[in-house]
Structure 1
């Protein structure tokens, strides 16, 4: 990948050094869809998350966003080297009550916003981690089939094995 246009439309699976496995689809120039397969908020999935998506230098891309939960995320991807570094800034309430966020967020935006207002947000639980990218696919831009199902046990392996094709 050399340009931002090469990165847009990319689908990736990555595992943080702490063992958490995530999946990201760069849906278009300002939107991502993602699923969380393991870790503190395993089972969470989101479509149509607005994000700032930029190219830092050739082959290095940054995606940053704020979720309705108040969680801030900034991820740096180097797909050609299978490396990612991210920082997740979880509000105190998400760290203490991650179960509230484990859902298809799009159906629970009101609950996420209400929880953000109801519970403490500070201090933030900051998770800076490197990750290994274990899958890179190119399903293209605005492919609604990429993140269309809730995460399930073994899904990421099914994707890597070509059992789920988008």
Structure 2
């Protein structure tokens, strides 16, 4: 597959299945999470996941955010867009051949997931770690991160349900 939009779509589906393989409602995640909306500094994270320690207030406050940025080719990686690592753990998702070409440009704390074999139940790939992410304390409070994820998830739910949504 050499078509960039197709590769991006396949990597995105694979990321979604990696984050939540069984559509478990206890896994908190969202796609295309926008921060600083309506400002000149707006950024969008391709996928985000939140893992609370437990469901107490302190367990939520101590939870970890995982950010995933999909990069389909070297040109995509070298573009200025999509290097938005706001989480405690941050990952690029890219084809292995792209990783081999850009690995020296990846910050030390950012992990990399690459497609392995095609999943036996669908048209996506199982992702494996080519480089493990190192913890980086986030700059934003949990409440802001959760709110932005909630807004993005509400947008997606409205799209699925056919509801007019103008919450951006």
- The alignment's TM-score, normalised by the length of structure 2, stands at 0.32
The one of the two structures with greater contact order (alpha-carbon pairs below 8 A, sep at least 6) is: 1
Name the one with the larger strand percent: 1
Q: Greater Rg, structure 1 or structure 2?
A: 2
Name the one with the larger helix percent: 2
